[in-house]
Amino acid sequence: MKRVLLVGGGTAGHVEPALAVGKWLVAHDSQIQVAFLGTRSGIEVDLLLKEDFPLHCITKVPLPRKINSELFTFPFRLIYSLAQSLRIIRNFDLIIGFGGYVSASAYLAARALKKPIVIHEANALPGWSNKLGARFATEIAVAFESVKRSYPAWSNAIFTGMPIRKEISKVAELSSDQKRDIKTRVVYELGLDPKLPIIFAFGGSQGSAAINKTIIDFSQSEAGKSVQIIHAVGGKNSLPSAESNYRSFSYIYNMAEMYVACDLVISRSGAVSCAEIEAIHKFAIFVPLPIGNGEQSANAYDLVNSGAALICNNSEFTPSWLERNIESLIAQATKFNNAQISAPWQNADEAIGNIALSIMER
């Protein structure tokens, strides 16, 4: 029996690709056991409730981005997290890391225990934990070809694309008539008007206060009344009341159907969101998260360059911006959504799974 530990936590962008790979591994080989390494406060706690993978929790250690008390305590918290990781990882044969708060200590522990490591980098700009782990990883996989060109140390990485949820890839492969049937059903279930355009807006798995405020204010404007909005506000945010043109949810579990039902997506440009929207072939307005190392803007560039999306900076994304541009945005989205899809989606979960299998067979 081979035991694989999936490492990643904090956001859906780290957890969902890991789950996709884990599901492929157990479906492909009954002799593989899969578990997950995360935190007690991340979204992995909720997402793993529906899965059969055990969750091992360690202390999260985010890298401080400014000089404060957390910067001085960072080394001590990392050492404590490393000790926790050592106790867990010694029982596994392979570590597959996806970045996030728990990955750095997990990579260091795996290195100390001489366990093989596979790293998947989801973003166009690698995060610090994956940069650290890449120094001693057995294999590295990337979701963007540009990473191999931009970072010499990553030039030998394997391009796999982004693992996405199976329900997304299944819907992406449906015929136009099948997608039309899904849209008709969703519109009926939500009590929306099939004759009016539908916007699907969300700010990532945890929601975005900035996006939420803009979407809510826009929905109440005259221009906003010309469209309908499906809005995922995030579990930690209050749920606005429904209106004739507006439906709100704390978290949407049937994302694939919502993508199909809408005419235009508005979201952050996390790696998972970009991959899912590309797979479903929907036009998007990306509002990159204005913190971090700029990875969200970089994630969206390929889709923007192919005519599949536009970028609106966080500071410019206002109700008045939407009011001025909504008519042209809907027209652009309709044209793109109706265009012929040029290439099928790559099965990244299978690609990463095969990398893992080849290492365990050595």
Q: 288-343, pLDDT tens digit by residue?
A: 998 877 899 999 998 999 999 999 999 999 999 999 999 999 999 999 999 866 55
Tokens of 219: 């929905």
Classify residue 62 by burial, with Cβ atoms within 10 Å: 0-12, 13-18, 19+: middle
2-164+346-360 CATH fold: Rossmann fold (3.40.50)
Low-confidence winner among 83-92, 107-116, 198-207, 263-272 (lowest mean pLDDT): 198-207
126-143 residue pLDDT tens: 988 999 999 999 999 999
Letter for the amino acid at 344? Answer: P
Instruction: Give me the residue spans of the domains in the chain.
Output: 2-164+346-360, 166-337
What's the one-letter identity of residue 177? D
Let me know if the fold of 2-164+346-360 is the same as that of 166-337: yes
pLDDT at residue number 334: 96
Q: In this prediction, what percent of the chain has a pLDDT beyond 70?
A: 96
Contact call for residues 266 and 237 (beta carbons, < 8 A): no
Task: Report the side by side order of strands in the sheet with 139-142.
Answer: 55-57, 32-38, 2-9, 94-100, 117-121, 139-142, 158-159
Q: End-to-end CA distance of the chain: give it in Å, rounded.
A: 15
Amino acid 65: pLDDT: 67
Which of the four pLDDT bands, split at 50, 70 and 90, describes residue 91? very high
Residue type, 193: D
pLDDT tens digits, 169-214: 889 889 999 999 999 999 999 999 999 999 999 997 778 999 999 9
- Is 166-337 in CATH node 3.40.50.2000? yes
pLDDT of residue 64: 65
